[in-house]
Structure formats: structure tokens, C-alpha cells
Chains A and B, each alone.
Chain A
């Protein structure tokens, strides 16, 4: 690989690092966008089968070209700006909804060392960048100059800010036991211990000692991405479609891209932090990116499953679950883990 790239690097000279980084970014974003497109199809198919329907099956073989058709349709639609809307911010809203999610992928490792930016404080960076997602919602809701989007934005952002706290505490537990903020190190720290030596690596991953945190992280992830059953932002029966009501065409599509990319991001985070990332679940199979993809896909399936199963939460129940149930549990569990690490029973030495 190095030898092959040598002549190209010489051709570009001093701007080679820039070019190479751009190539890497493209190699992450392009498959991600494809995954987003096919996640929408997977969602419709999975929910369809769960409700004893077939789902989309008309465009292309077995409906496989449906996302392409949807994308083209949205691309050719007119973008309507409501009168009295704050035009600049109105058009910036969808960008703010998508951009932080894409930025967050820069620190996500896909394999041992396979990462765009291997930074020290990777976990903190992820937390900070995902906390910016809320701006897309707020700006879109306010700039539309319309009542329903504004109400939807208020709900959604209050919900996202609340669940971020619980998510943060769950992450504190993870960084306590792996003693590092670097995502690469966090994964590698899960590949050791008694069970790993026995060849049963999947029992040495973080999900087992931190089981309550794993559950809270996944549920908070669903709430954070505003997915059903926490999708009061869309709440068709109450407030039409939340902050996206006034958007059409590609500006609407950007919100959707952002939402699905955020879903994939949360699933990837859960598989890195709790399910051992690219590590193989058993000793006799090799580690690799395919494990990471499999784990991410399983958690994504859980997202879709939850959407097909549960009715929408009432708003005050969502807030109660976040503040009165999750945050106290996580606070106590942080102390439990910290004390556990100091006792002779600690399993993380």
C-alpha cells in the first residue's frame, strides 16, 4: 500500500496530506450516505414485515431502488421559503442538522487504528459534537416563523438536552473502567480479562459489567435521535411534523439524512463502547471490521424493532423517564463502579 501510494504522494508534494485526508473523508462519507439511503428502505421493509405487510417492492428488483427514487424525487422538488421566515437561518437549519453528525464520524474507529483522526479525547469530542445536533432543530423551528415548527423544536431540543445528561453519565462509567478517552484504547481494553483468555471474549466486553448503563445508553440514544417511541418531535397526531413542517425538497431531505446518520452513529458508538467494536465475540474467529458492521446493524435493527413495537410516549412521561429515572440510576452507578474499582473485587486491573 505504502509503496503503491509513493508516486502519487510525490506528484502532489506538500499538499499530499490534505489530499489524502480528503480521500479518507470521502471513503467514510460516501458509504455512510449509501447506508443511510438503504437504512430507510430497511426500516420500511422491517416494519412492513412486522405488521404483516410486504413493504416497498415496486421500484427495481424487490424494491431495492426505492431509496434512489425517493432521493431523486426530493432532489427535483422546489424548496419553499415561507413568507416572514428568516431566510438565511431557515436554509442553515438543515445544514446544522446534518453537519455535526458527519463531523462525529471523524473519530469513530472502524478497526484497530482504522480511524480518520486518532485523537486523545475522542469520547469527549463525540459527546461535544453530538450535543451540537440540537442547533439544527432549534434554528429550523425558530426560522420557519410558524407555530407548529416552533413548538416541535422546543419539545425536541428540551428532550435532546435532557437525555444527553444521562448519556454523558453512562459514558463516564465507560471511561472510568477503560481509563482512557481514546476510542481505540476503549475497544482494546475490552479485549482482555478472564473470559477473553477462555475464548469467550463477548463476556469480557463492557456490556456485562455495565449492563444498566448499556440499556440506558441505548434508550437515551433512541431519545437523542428523536426516534419512536420518543418521536414527539414528529408526533403526526399532535403537531404535524415538528420543526420540519415548513421544509420541502432537498432541505427536508437533509433533516432525514441527519436523523438516519445520527441513528447509525449512536449504534456505532454503542457497539464501540459496550460491545467491543471490531473485536471478535469468540476466540477462534479473527477480529475485523465485519464484526463492527454486524454489531452496528443489530443495534439499528433494535431501533426499527422498537419503532414497530411501542406506542409513542406522552411528553411528560419522556421528561420523567429522563430526569427522574435515568439520571438518578446513572449517578448511583457511577459511584458503584468507582467504588468497585477501588475494592479487591475489581476486574479491571
Chain B
């Protein structure tokens, strides 16, 4: 077995194990941390495909930012593990349906004509000067510039929507505007008084 294949199986095994633990771990914080491990292994597998930009971005965005916010929310919740296990049987049909749908979709994608193993031969190894970042940047800003700009617009709208949904002015707040605090001069607060010395 080639060394690269061995590395692939190591990453894949860790990823499958971590993904399994995400849904079986009792403690939600543990589940979230296993999801981090799964992302990390996925990054490793992408690295094997010489897609270092995608691999590092996956770690940067999902592990470094998204999962941190996830953990924030999960840690804040007061979770009762016993109550979470209630209603397992009533949710089972819905969950099973979604799982079956996912499996069917995956079979369609991987077993279909377009993505089967023989339709997707192993890409030739890249030349020495190849830079994945440069290639992806070139493609994004030439061939796929309109979809790319469209995606960024959608993200911008989502961002503005999220801000407007959560932004509310509460009445009766006593916090002071930092601008006012910063613009205070010495003359506003201190008065120098010249007093003649008192004599007995």
C-alpha cells in the first residue's frame, strides 16, 4: 500500500469515528468538539488532494470561527441530558426518513454516470510550481465571476438581515455612548481656581 493511501485511510477512519460520535455523544459539548475533529480530518483529506487552499480555509472558517460560535451557544444552554433522551421514538420516523433520503442521494451521486469512479479518474499530480490558491482565485474571478458575485450578494443580504433582526434599542439603558466619553476635555471636568492664601 502506498503511503498516501495509508494516510487517507487514517484520516477517513478518524473522520467516520468522529462523525459517529457527533450523533452518539451524550454531552452536546463533546458532540460539538467531535464535529471539530471531523472538520479537521476532512481538511487533511483535502490536503491529500493537493487542494491546500480549501483545506486551510475549511479549518480557518469552520473550526476557527463557526464552531467557536456553536460552542458559545451550546455552552450557554442549560441542557438536561435525561430530558433530551425523551421522545427518541417519536422522532425516530422523521430522522430515519431524512437518513434514508441522504443515503439515496449519495448513492445517486456516487453511483451515477457523472461521478462514478471510472468517470472521475485520479487527476495527474500537479507540477512543482502549482499553487492551488492561485488557480482557485483565477477560476473564481474569470469563469465563475457572476456566480461568485451572486453568492457574495446573497451572503451580504443574509448578514444585513441578521443584524436588523437582532438589533433592538432597549429603553432605560444607562450605558454611555463611548464617543461622548472620548470627546470629554479636561476643561469640562476640572475647574482651576486661583485662591489667595489665607492668613491667620
Contact = CB atoms under 8 A, between A and B. Distances in A.
Q: Say if A and B assemble together.
A: yes
B178 A316 contact: yes
Tell me what chain B mostly uses at the interface: helix, strand, loop, or mixed. Answer: helix
Nearest to B29: A142
A119 B52 contact: yes
Given A128-B59, A142-B29, A316 B68 contact: no
Interface stretch (A131-139, A217-225, A260-268): A131-139
A144 to B, nearest CB: 12
Interface string A120-161: 110011011001101100110010000000100010011001
Interface string B164-192: 00000000000100100000000000000
Nearest to B43: A128
A149 B159 CA distance: 31
Contacts of B115: none
Nearest to B64: A131
Nearest to A125: B56
A316 to B, nearest CB: 7
B178 A124 contact: no
B64 A320 contact: no
B8 interface: no
A317 B177 CA distance: 10
A106 B13 CA distance: 26
Contacts of B59: 128, 131-132
B53 interface: yes
A135 B67 CA distance: 10
Interface string A303-325: 00000000000001100100000
A161 B65 contact: yes
B65 A131 contact: yes
A121 B132 contact: yes
A246 interface: no
Interface in A199-253: none
A147 to B, nearest CB: 12
Nearest to A130: B64
B75 interface: yes
B131 A120 contact: yes
A261 B131 CA distance: 30
Contacts of A317: 178
A37 interface: no
Nearest to A121: B52
Contacts of B152: none
A181 interface: yes
Contact of A138 (B27, B57, B65, B71): B71
A164 interface: yes
Interface string B36-61: 10000000000000001100110110
A131 B63 contact: yes
Contact of B68 (A120, A125, A128, A134): A134
A174 to B, nearest CB: 14
A209 B29 CA distance: 45
Nearest to B53: A121
A89 B28 CA distance: 13
A181 B133 contact: yes
A134 B63 CA distance: 10
Nearest to B67: A135
Contacts of A157: 68, 72
Nearest to A154: B72
A128 B56 contact: yes
A135 B59 CA distance: 13
Contact of B75 (A119, A132, A142, A161): A142
Interface string A157-182: 11001001000000000000000010
A329 B42 CA distance: 35
B52 A120 contact: yes
A121 B133 CA distance: 8
Contacts of A89: 29-30, 33
Contacts of A142: 29, 71, 75
A173 B56 CA distance: 19
Given A121-B53, A142-B75, A150-B75, A316 B65 contact: no
A120 B132 contact: yes
28 contacts: A86-B27, A86-B29, A119-B52, A120-B52, A120-B133, A121-B53, A124-B56, A124-B60, A124-B133, A125-B56, A127-B60, A128-B60, A128-B63, A128-B64, A131-B59, A131-B64, A131-B65, A134-B64, A134-B68, A139-B33, A142-B29, A150-B75, A154-B72, A158-B72, A161-B65, A161-B69, A164-B64, A316-B175
Given A86-B29, A142-B71, 7 more contacts: A131-B64, A139-B33, A154-B75, A157-B68, A161-B68, A316-B175, A316-B178
